[in-house]
């Protein structure tokens, strides 16, 4: 781990990345937290994060992907830069800047020792400014869920339209008109049927299974707002 030096002020600038890893489980949006092994805040639950390695990382996104691999033990199919958080008070070691990312996985991986998935609305007090980072990420995800295909990255494939509809409703926290929802999916044009595959849902007739088209697995399509109209 490295820090860079601000020669003008004679102080060290701490440059890190933090990753808000989100998933859905039991109808709740959850975030992965890790127990810190070192000071500051040893023993506290915090976001996966770490220093940018100047000699190893080609950029902050590379650093975020490395942090996910090394500290969370996974690769996320969706990773997006969230915002930068900086200032003299966020880290007791000195003036720091963190480039934060959020990542999405379709279902929580089994938590390893020192990890836990917690509902985003029932978090303990988090160190640094990680509480603000999580809140910003949740707001971004819920905002984009109103007009984009982002929620498909939280739905395990293959899925039915009803399952995807439920994911959108969970993220938005309100009912979505079924007809409007299907119309928006047609506008986004991101899904393709899995030929010959159906799933029985309750007492209804078997429903067609879908998956995300390969060209849209990472890229988002944005359309006009109004899923609930």
Give DSSP secondary structure letters for 90-110: S-TTSSEEEEEEEEE-SSPPP
What mean pLDDT comes out for the span 180-199? 94
Answer yes or no: do 132 and 32 share one domain. yes
Name the token pair of 219: 């890229």
Domain residue limits at 58? 14-145
Reported as a single tens digit per residue, the pLDDT across 80-114 is: 999 999 999 999 999 999 999 999 999 887 888 99
The pTM (predicted TM-score) of the whole model is 0.88
- From the list 124, 52, 127, 51, the residue with the least C-alpha distance to 89 is 127
Answer yes or no: do 135 and 159 share one domain. no
Residue 218's pLDDT band, with cuts at 50, 70 and 90, is: low
Reported as a single tens digit per residue, the pLDDT across 108-148 is: 878 889 999 999 999 999 999 999 999 999 999 999 999 99
For the CA atoms of 179, 180, 184, 186, the dihedral, rounded to the nearest 10 degrees, stands at 20
The CATH code of the domain that includes 161 is 1.10.10.10
CA 88/CA 138 separation, integer angstroms: 25
pLDDT at 225 over 80: no
Residue 4 lies in a domain: no
pLDDT value at position 7? 37
The CATH code of the domain that includes 35 is 3.90.79.10
pLDDT value at position 75? 84
| Cα→Cα distances 169→114, 143, 160, 212, Å | 31, 12, 14, 19
Answer yes or no: do 111 and 211 share one domain. no
Q: Return the number of other C-beta atoms located less than 10 Å from residue 172's C-beta.
A: 16
For the CA atoms of 148, 153, 155, 159, the dihedral, rounded to the nearest 10 degrees, stands at 80
pLDDT value at position 121? 95
Average pLDDT of every residue of the chain = 88
């Amino acid at each position: 781990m490295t820090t860079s030096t601000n020669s003008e002020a004679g102080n060290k600038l701490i440059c890190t990345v933090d990753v808000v890893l989100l998933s859905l489980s039991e109808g709740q949006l959850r975030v992965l937290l890790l127990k810190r092994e070192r000071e500051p805040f040893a023993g506290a639950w915090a976001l996966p994060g770490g220093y940018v390695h100047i000699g190893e990382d080609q950029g902050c996104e590379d650093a975020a992907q490395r942090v996910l691999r090394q500290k969370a033990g996974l690769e996320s199919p969706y990773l997006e830069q969230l915002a930068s958080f900086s200032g003299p008070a966020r880290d007791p070691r000195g003036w720091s800047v963190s480039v934060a990312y959020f990542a999405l996985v379709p279902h929580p991986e089994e938590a390893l020792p020192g990890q836990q998935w917690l509902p985003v609305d029932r978090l303990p007090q988090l160190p640094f400014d990680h509480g603000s980072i999580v809140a910003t990420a949740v707001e971004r995800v819920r905002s984009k869920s109103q007009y984009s295909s982002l929620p498909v990255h939280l739905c395990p494939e293959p899925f039915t339209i009803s399952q995807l509809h439920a994911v959108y409703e969970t993220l938005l926290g309100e009912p979505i008109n079924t007809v409007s929802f299907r119309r928006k999916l047609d506008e986004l044009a991101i899904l393709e049927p899995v030929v010959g595959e159906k799933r029985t849902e309750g007492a209804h007739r078997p429903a067609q299974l879908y998956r995300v088209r390969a060209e849209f697995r990472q890229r988002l399509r944005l359309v006009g707002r109004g899923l609930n109209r």
